[in-house]
Structure 1
Amino acid sequence: MSELSILIADDEALIRLDIKEMLQGAGHIVCGEANNGLKAVELAKSLTPDLAILDVMMPGLDGLEVAKILHSMNIPVLLLTAYSQSKFINRAEKVSVYGYLVKPITERDLLPAIQIAYARWKEMQDVRSKLETTQQELQSQKLISRAKAILASCEGISEYEAHQLLIHRAMDLRITAVKLAAQIVKKEA
């Protein structure tokens, strides 16, 4: 796994130190440390880490609230906690964390959890990107379809002929068919 920039937030200094040593020993960079939730959010905004490791129970904002904020900033979160009760786990599910480790943790637990969490986050980014591209393509096709219908009606030609006309006019104007379709639809509105 490649080197990651990681933010650590835990109100216990010794735990932060242990985690930092484990991460650095594995080749990761600890870009920031926080002892409370508010500081963690502040550091995440300024440092934009690749991943954040958060304790659940911290002063200010708890780790679950911080995780929700970091999720909106597109920063994956791995939670560390002494609590394994279902109420904490259920809350963690709702704030889109990518891992949940119960203390005490070892390097043997932490490093694979980081690798899996980051891999799942990257997969989610790929899915989001593909979804966005598909949505844009669908919008383009709808726009072209609407423009073809307008051209067919105005010119008294078939949809196929309107499509050919749209393509040829776009080529003549040296613009994309989508851009020309948008102009046609806008003009018709």
Structure 2
Amino acid sequence: MKPLSILLAEDEVLIRVDIKEMLEKAGHIVCAECGDGMRAIELAKQTAPELVILDVMMPGLDGIETAKVMHSLNIPVVMVTAYSQPNTIKRAEAVHVYGYLIKPVSEKNLLATVQIAYGRWQDMCQVHQELQATKEQLENQKLIARARAFVQDRLSLSAQEAHNRMLREAMRHQVTVAQIARRIIDREKEMR
């Protein structure tokens, strides 16, 4: 696994020092550390870490509320806690936490959780990108079909002839068929 830039937020200084040592020994970079949720958010905005490790119970903004903000900043979170109550785990799950460690944290568990959490987060990013690309493709197909219908009606052509005409126009202008379709639709709107 490549070294990660990690933000560490744990209000118990000795635990924070131990976790930091374990992470750095494994080659990771602790880019920032603190003991409360609000400061963790500020530091995340300043340092753009690849992963955040948060204690659940911190003064001010707790780890679960902080994890919500980290999710909105597109940063994966691993929670560390002395509490393994089902309610706490359920709250962590609801805010898209990628890992959950119970104190005392062992080096093996910490490093395995960090690796798996970061891998799952990368998987989710890939799925999100693919979903966006699929949505864009679908929108383009709808746009092209709509424009093709306008060309068919205006010039009394078959669907195939209208599509071929749009393809030739796209090649002539060195743009995509979707861009030609957008121009056709925009012209139709102007004519109305």
The one-letter amino acid of 1:66's match is T
The one-letter amino acid of 2:11's match is D
Cα offset, 1:38, TM superposition? 0.4
- Provide TM-score, normalisation by structure 1: 0.98
Equivalenced residue count is 189
Equivalent residue, structure 2, for 1:90: 90
Separation in 2 of the partners of 1:173 and 1:30?
Answer: 51
Moved over 6 A (4+): none
Unaligned runs of 5+ in 1: none
Separation in 1 of the partners of 2:174 and 2:132?
Answer: 26
Cα offset, 1:69, TM superposition? 0.3
- Provide TM-score, normalisation by structure 2: 0.97
The one-letter amino acid of 1:179's match is Q
Separation in 2 of the partners of 1:179 and 1:34?
Answer: 49
Listed as ranges, the matches of 1:121-136 within 5 Å are: 121-136=121-136
Q: For structure 1, which segment, 167-176 or 145-154, has the greater mean C-alpha deviation from structure 2 after superposition? A: 167-176
Listed as ranges, the matches of 1:53-132 within 5 Å are: 53-132=53-132
Separation in 2 of the partners of 1:114 and 1:177?
Answer: 44
Separation in 1 of the partners of 2:156 and 2:32?
Answer: 66
Unaligned runs of 5+ in 2: none
Separation in 2 of the partners of 1:95 and 1:173?
Answer: 47
Cα offset, 1:169, TM superposition? 1.6
Separation in 1 of the partners of 2:57 and 2:147?
Answer: 57
Equivalent residue, structure 2, for 1:179: 179
Equivalent residue, structure 2, for 1:44: 44
Deviations 1:84-121 (A, max 9, x none): 00110010010000011111111011000000000000
